Amino acid sequence: MANELLYTGKSKSVYAGDDNHTCILEFRDSATAGNGAKKAELEGKGVLNAEITSILYRYLEKNGIETHFVKMLDETRMLAKKVDIINVEVIVRNLAAGSFSKRYGVPEGTPLKNTVLEFCLKSDELGDPMMNESQITALGIASQKELETMKDMALRINALLSALFDRCDIILVDFKLEFGKHDDRIVLADEISPDSCRFWDKATGKKLDKDRFRRDLGDVLGAYREVLRRLKHAQPL
> Among residues 182 and 212, whose Cβ is nearest to ligand UDP?
212
User: Is 198 a binder of ligand UDP (CB under 6 A)?
Assistant: yes
> Among residues 16 and 228, whose Cβ is nearest to ligand UDP?
228
Considering only 60-68, 75-83, 133-141, 170-178, which stretch makes contact with ligand UDP by CB under 6 A?
170-178
- φ, ψ of residue 9 to 5 degrees: the values are -95, -170
Contact assessment for residue 211 and residue 218, using Cβ atoms and an 8 Å cutoff:
no
CA–CA dist 119, 133 (Å, integer): 8
User: Is 197 a binder of ligand UDP (CB under 6 A)?
Assistant: yes
User: Is 174 a binder of ligand UDP (CB under 6 A)?
Assistant: yes
Contact assessment for residue 117 and residue 91, using Cβ atoms and an 8 Å cutoff:
yes
**Sequence letter at residue 37:** A
User: Is 175 a binder of ligand UDP (CB under 6 A)?
Assistant: yes
Burial zone of 79 (CB within 10 Å; 0-12 exposed, 13-18 middle, 19+ buried): middle
User: Is 9 a binder of ligand UDP (CB under 6 A)?
Assistant: no
User: Is 98 a binder of ligand UDP (CB under 6 A)?
Assistant: yes
Which residue's Cβ has the minimum distance to ligand UDP?
98
Contact assessment for residue 101 and residue 107, using Cβ atoms and an 8 Å cutoff:
yes
Q: How many residues bind ligand UDP (CB under 6 A)?
A: 14
User: Is 99 a binder of ligand UDP (CB under 6 A)?
Assistant: yes
User: Is 100 a binder of ligand UDP (CB under 6 A)?
Assistant: yes
Out of 29, 66, 108, 128, name the contact with ligand UDP by CB under 6 A: 128
Q: How far is the CB of 53 from ligand UDP (least distance, A)?
A: 12
For ligand UDP, the binding residues (CB under 6 A) are: 89, 91, 97-100, 128, 174-176, 196-198, 210
